[in-house]
Amino acid sequence: MYGLFVRPSNNYAVLDGLRAVSILWVVLSHVIFLGPSGHLEGIELASMYENIGLFYSFWLNGFYGVDCFFVLSGLLISNIIFREIDETGTLNLKVFYIRRILRLSPALIVVVLFVYLKKLPNFEFLWYNVFYINNFLALSDNVMTHTWSLSVEEQFYIAFSAFMFFFRKSRYILMSVMTLIVASFIIKFFIILYLWESIDVQIYEIGDINSDDSTNYIELIYFKPYTRYGAFLFGVLAMYLYRYRYDWLRQNIATWVGKSVVYLALIVIVGVAFSNLYRPQEQPSDLLLFVYHCFIGYLFSAALATLMIALLMRSDDLSIIHRGLSHRTLYPIAQLAYSLYLTHPLLIGILVSACIYIFVEKPFMDLRKVILRDSHS
């Protein structure tokens, strides 16, 4: 219980705040789309969108909270990897994978067992969740569908850690990461272009599980690592610059160019978060919809990574935001974020999330420290 409320002195308080805001955003969005009676669909969605206001636009855009998690994850995981390479000259993949398994799997297995014992729909496919591949399972066969993002994260961890193991001594890591980011835009563009006829779905239809276009979009684009990995890499790029180009950042962030970039990032974040393409009677053109599906998610991720750098650098222009996100009341929410993400669609509640954190996540995190300490002795 102590670890739930007392923040360690060596963590990034502002990132805890971002994690807390992100999970609250996601949960609030799922309240609409999942609801007490199951998925909203068809006319229910259209009716809800008819008179949507600014606040509800933000509420509905909660799926961008997942992008926040991806950027944060890339930033934090790369920090662990960079630190180990700096300290040891190598990257122990075995220890890295054990660390990730002990961090994610215990709580996931507890929830999976609950679903299995309750014999919830599609429970026979739960092994896809356990092995982090349910994002490649048909939507109609999915159980705990929301955990698709955990699968994408785990797949990124495996790929990026292997990449860093082989290129750890390269002088071109920064260039390689930037190249992969550019490639992520190109890959997503051509995949969406190739599949456009089967995924040409209006934003307000995405939550309709009975729409073929919506199902195709979710299965072929939204859930797949090759259309989402760019968000992680923006986090990686942010941490690389923060660790290895700190002086350069410090020099430039105070210039008018640096300030302009940060302000532009804030405008993009707010603009995307409150964007409203949901009104059925005001459908955007196919061109606008294509651009939205191709680029807006990555644009949001890039802006968020820029904001994270500025917050870590404690930019004077963001002092109010920094203080707000660093407030101690957000720390417990950040600590519960993973358990809450796992359990909230099952309506188990915050109490169960706290119990899973205290009795499952935290003990295994402590065990992980012991194992890793012994492995280095």
Q: Please tell me the predicted confidence (pLDDT) of residue 37.
A: 38
Q: Give the distance from CA 175 to its chain's centroid.
A: 24
Contact 233, 180 (CB under 8 A): yes
Structure tokens at 102: 């002990």
Task: Render the burial of 303-336: b for 16+ CB within 10 Å, e for the rest.
Answer: bbbbbbbbbbbebeebeebbeebbeeebbbbbbb
332-353 pLDDT, tens digit each: 899 989 988 988 776 544 555 6
Q: DSSP code of 284?
A: P
Q: What is the mean pLDDT of residues 162-188?
A: 94
pLDDT > 50? residue 330: yes
Closest CA to 178 of 122, 234, 108, 118: 234
233-286 pLDDT, tens digit each: 999 999 999 999 999 999 999 899 999 999 999 999 999 999 887 776 777 788
Contact 233, 185 (CB under 8 A): no
Q: Please tell me the predicted confidence (pLDDT) of residue 41.
A: 53
Contact 356, 98 (CB under 8 A): no
**Does an H or E element contain 311, and which?**
helix 297-312
Asked which of 64-78, 110-124, 192-206, 294-308 is least confident by mean pLDDT, the reply is 192-206
201-246 pLDDT, tens digit each: 777 677 666 678 888 999 999 999 999 999 999 999 999 999 999 9
78-103 pLDDT, tens digit each: 999 999 999 999 999 999 999 999 99
As a whole number, the mean pLDDT across the chain is 86
36-90 pLDDT, tens digit each: 334 555 555 566 666 666 677 888 888 899 999 999 999 999 999 999 999 999 9
Q: What percent of the chain has pLDDT over 90?
A: 58
**Within 10 A of 76 (CB to CB), how many other CB atoms are there?**
17
Q: Please tell me the predicted confidence (pLDDT) of residue 374.
A: 62
